[in-house]
A and B are shown apart, each in its own frame.
Chain A
Amino acid sequence: MFGRMNRRYDVVVVGGGPAGLAAALGALDSGVSRVLVVEREPEAGGILRQCIHAGFGLHHFREELTGPEYAERFVTQVMDRDIDVAPHSYVTGLAVDSSGHRLVRVLSERGGLATVECRSVVLAMGCRERTRGAVRIPGTRPAGIFTAGLAQKLLNLDGYLPGRRAVILGSGDIGLIMARRLTLEGCKVEGVFELMPYSNGLTRNVVQCLDDYGIPLHLSTTVTRIHGRDRIEAVTVAPVDETGRPDAARAWDVPCDTLLLSIGLIPENELSESLGIALDVVTGGPKVDSTLATSLPGVFACGNVLHVHDLVDFVTEEALRAGRFAGEHARQIRRPRDAIALVPGANVRYCLPHTLSADRPHTVYMRAKTRMSPCILRVGNLLERRLRFVVPAEMIHLTIQPELLERFYEDRLQIDLLPVDGGGVP
């Protein structure tokens, strides 16, 4: 029930975005009955609430939805199946009592600072945007510098334009979407500037959000200086060499009153860190086994808090699984311990989960370090797939069936992305 929060649950889900909502449903599917979703906003749905453009759900629902529509389908199911959702609520900490129950501390206006007891916890806090400080853009500190997501929230949820003449740094998907959105609202977008020689967003977004509107994408170019005392007045941009160093001789100034930053997302793991959960330095999220359990017993993770996804459909898939395993854990069902470490090899930035077992199918997610076309995906000496191309911006997923691991007796399985003509095929 929306707005209800009892003192005892089987599973508590931290975060009511797409990951949290699916995790709650997954938990219920596993046979538990008491599930709570803790959400800091007044409504569930997470970042999808401000993603008013279409294009969500092509994998999961086989149809094209807007962000709020995609979220609504899950909110409706959550409400129909009597899952409790506590809005305006925030998890401040987690402890374990002497009988092994998890104690979740929840802060809210209505409930004060409450303690909720449960057997399993699912972390689904999502991610946050990288800011100016993280990339150290030199210059002054005027008003008018926003992360793309904050600008999207101001525009789509609050009804305010961030400015009239914008420059966008970084070609992440939110930045591309905002380039189109601002243009439609009458704000002139001077261009999108990307440090890397390729876009960090999906190809489709580059075409549909920039090309279709005549907004230039400047690759291998970055903002080297911010100008303006009270409000931003201009930025200096410059091409960069292969090492990312700007060439000051070829720099030029772009007058603007707004700078949007779309320079990457970081899993939001302050709570995980405060609990002492082991994190992966590459993904920025928890280390998880094949049940998506973290290093803290009874605590699971899924969605963008685990690793940054580009498609919400995969968040949903991952979160349904995490919820099911969390529910099983609450019912004291135990799975065999994983015996195989999954290790990123050539041109693989990361792969998840960190370990596998040989008793059931596993979905593995991974990202390439650099573009490769065509490409061989090799899983140890068990499997090879030919891929037309891989790019860092698009996550790769793979299902490994148990038959494949039946006669695998090693403890380490490496995944490589190899060039086709580079001797990758034995």
Chain B
Amino acid sequence: MYDVAIIGGGVVGCAIARELSRYHLRTVLLERLAEVGFGTTKTNSGIIHAGQQTTPGTLKGLLEVRGNAMFDQLQRELGFGFRRCGELVVAASAEELASLERMKADGEAKGVPGLEMWDAQRLRREEPNLSLHLVGALFAPSAGVINPYEFAFALAECAVQNGVELRVEQEVESIALRDGGGFRIHATVPSGPGAVQAGLGAVKAGPGEDSVAGVDVEARFIINAAGVHADKVAALVGADDFIIRPRRGEEYLLDRRLEGIVTRLIFPVPTPASKGILIIPTFDGTLMVGPTAHDQDDRFDVPTTTEGSEEVFATVRRLCPSLDARATIAEFAGLRAVSDTGDFIIGPSRVPGFFHVAGIQSPGLTASPAIAVHVVELVGRAGLPLVEHDQFNPHVAPPARFATQSHEVRQALVEADPRFGRLVCRCELVTEAEVHQAVDHGARTLDGVKFRTRAGMGRCQGGFCTTRVMQILSRRLGVPFHEVTKRGAGSWLVIPMAEDREAAMTEAGGMSAGDTTAGAGEEAPCSDA
């Protein structure tokens, strides 16, 4: 029996897992997808908010400012991509300038550091590519950009290294109250056996666990961090005191060529529904624009749309006219878990031992480390004994990034490990050694490697590296090439050609992709003059 079962391996669940791993506890983290951080986290805008934009007096506002301050230390311990680039909320009119003044006063009351009002001249000097129509801005230096998936991967890895069990591809189907206290969670596996990810290797379902019928997990406490599914999970024990309505956001990633067009996060003045569509200079140098905000009922469908693309580019071009939809290299959408209470829902439910961490929409990523501390304290107060581990290791080794190293460091890396000399991804300059490292650190799928190494994130979007990464994954996971998936069950990539078809490979005649006779007709324009 576990002391705590966390349902949901997004950034919040992973932060809670790491926080619990500081104590002498048996903790299990259950994730529906093939890897942690593959849901809302992966599609997050990746902003560490300064805090001046959130309504004062809310739990959100409190945990946001607290969370922001924790990121420098977390970055040192976990090595994820994070940079405090600062943010600008820009005003296009005198009325908007006035609302920025109010925002500044609110922020200062909450303890947001370093807020400054910039006039048009200062704004032009600092960000010369912004629209000439803008009349001023509120500058918040403590805001930053982060790679949210790297943060989740590192949190989970740290938790596992300190004893938390991570079970992926486990979809919680029912939760029963145990006689004598605690819960029995029944989880089914979407397809194939669930893996217990521990340390270096993936372990198949344990003895006696029927991988088809699913597995049972018993725990004294449950922390429900199931994101857009949190109300459904709560309903399994009759603790559904709230409703989650997914709010879809579309993001558009632009070519690296636009690096440096803006150097800070650029926000419009927010509306009650959303912080608006913004320009994000990502940690890795590419620009991202978005997100949109549209409520929907479906909790799985995350399409991008023509309307979304038009909305995003029309909006950001008002802020920065040189941003062009044609520079898009990738687009994606994610679902925010918006609760009907308007604030984070964190704490005990009406079922003793069952805790909610729900409705964690923006600024949830910023607040996540503070949420973890807060909820562990609450569970402690409810009777979970929190005895600190003296062996707790807060650090995980950050990946060695070949692309960002100097010539000398690169030379040293190749000398130490020749696999650094084998290029896997040419757009982002990722080497074979880094792909192996990603597998060492938990990657099990093409997307897992992509989000850990950047292989496949560049402008060719996997055209070059896909087969190389699949080959390495096949070797490392001990599965045939065609069993490597994009992101877990159902996302198969290729079918092996039947052997009897080999003969058919010698194709009957015909012409070619690049080849035919005469360019432009009988009076060929290739004559000498």
Which residues of A approach B to under 8 Å, CB–CB? Answer: 40, 51-59, 67, 88, 90, 92, 105, 107-113, 128-129, 131-134, 136, 138-144, 147, 149-150, 153-155, 157-164, 173-174, 176-177, 180-181, 184-186, 201-205, 208-209, 224-226, 229-231, 270, 273, 309-313, 361, 377, 379, 382-383, 385-391, 394-401, 404
Contact = CB atoms under 8 A, between A and B. Distances in A.
Contacts of B252: 136
B497 A160 contact: yes
A107 B504 contact: no
B390 interface: no
B515 interface: yes
B496 A399 contact: no
B501 interface: yes
A111 B521 contact: no
Contacts of A112: 411, 414-415, 418, 421
User: How would you classify the secondary structure of chain A's contact residues: helix, strand, loop or mixed?
Assistant: mixed
Contact of A398 (B257, B486, B490, B525): B525
Question: Which 5 residue pairs of A and B lie closest in terms of their CB atoms, listed nearest first?
Answer: A388-B521, A55-B512, A230-B490, A143-B486, A160-B494
B207 interface: no
A67 B512 contact: yes
B523 A161 contact: no
Given A110-B421, A161-B496, 6 more contacts: A58-B515, A141-B302, A149-B463, A150-B462, A224-B306, A312-B514
Contact of B481 (A90, A153, A160, A273): A160
Given A133-B330, A153-B467, A397 B512 contact: no
Contacts of A40: 423, 426
Interface string B502-529: 1011010111111111011111111111
Contact of B521 (A129, A164, A184, A387): A387
7 contacts: A138-B305, A139-B303, A159-B496, A161-B494, A162-B493, A386-B523, A404-B529
Given A138-B305, A401-B528, A54 B510 contact: yes
B301 A92 contact: no
B208 to A, nearest CB: 29
Contacts of B526: 396-399
A233 B362 CA distance: 32
B426 A90 contact: yes
A51 B514 CA distance: 9
A109 B501 CA distance: 36
A136 B309 contact: yes
A111 B467 contact: no
Contact of A387 (B303, B485, B509, B523): B523
Contacts of B486: 142-143, 230
A401 B486 CA distance: 55
Interface of B: 252-253, 257, 300-306, 308-309, 325-326, 328-332, 407, 410-411, 414-415, 418-419, 421-423, 426-427, 429, 459-464, 466-467, 481-482, 485-497, 501-502, 504-505, 507, 509-517, 519-529
B421 to A, nearest CB: 4
Contact of A58 (B463, B504, B517): B517
Contact of B519 (A147, A157, A158, A396): A396
Contacts of A205: 511-513, 516
A161 B495 contact: yes
Given A128-B460, A160-B496, A163-B495, A385 B523 contact: yes
Contact of A56 (B309, B467, B507, B515): B515
B306 to A, nearest CB: 5
A105 B510 contact: no
Nearest to B493: A143
B465 to A, nearest CB: 10
Given A107-B423, A138-B306, A230-B490, A184 B504 contact: yes
Nearest to B326: A134
Contacts of A105: 407
Contacts of A186: 501
B510 A180 contact: yes
Residue from B308, B423, B514 having most chain A Cβ neighbours under 10 A: B514
Contacts of A57: 515
A389 B520 CA distance: 6
B515 A92 contact: no
Nearest to B508: A184
Nearest to B308: A138
A344 B519 CA distance: 19
Contact of B525 (A154, A158, A396): A396
Given A142-B491, A397-B519, A185 B512 contact: no
B529 A109 contact: no
Contacts of B464: 128
B421 A111 contact: yes
Contacts of B515: 55-58, 202, 311-313
Nearest to B494: A160
A109 B422 contact: yes
Nearest to B511: A55
A395 B519 contact: yes
A56 B523 contact: no
Contact of A396 (B309, B407, B520): B520
Contact of B421 (A108, A202, A204, A396): A108
B337 to A, nearest CB: 18
A129 B519 CA distance: 23
B496 to A, nearest CB: 6
A231 B490 contact: yes
A404 B497 CA distance: 57
Given A138-B306, A161-B494, A52 B507 contact: yes
A388 B522 contact: yes
B529 A399 contact: yes
A177 B495 contact: no
A161 B497 contact: yes
Residue from B407, B414, B461, B526 having most chain A Cβ neighbours under 10 A: B461
A293 B486 CA distance: 43
Nearest to A315: B514
A180 B305 CA distance: 31
Contacts of A401: 528-529
Given A129-B460, A136-B309, A138-B305, A150 B495 contact: no
B507 A53 contact: yes
A40 B426 CA distance: 9
Given A225-B303, A397-B519, A177 B494 contact: no
Contact of A140 (B303, B309, B325, B513): B303
Nearest to B509: A54
B491 A185 contact: no
B504 A185 contact: yes
A185 B329 contact: no
A63 to B, nearest CB: 12
Contacts of B460: 128-129, 131
A224 B486 CA distance: 23
A131 B309 contact: no
Contacts of A141: 302, 332
Contacts of B303: 138-140, 225-226
Contact of B510 (A55, A153, A383): A55
A174 to B, nearest CB: 5
B376 to A, nearest CB: 34
A275 B461 CA distance: 23
Given A140-B303, A231-B492, A397-B519, A185 B501 contact: yes
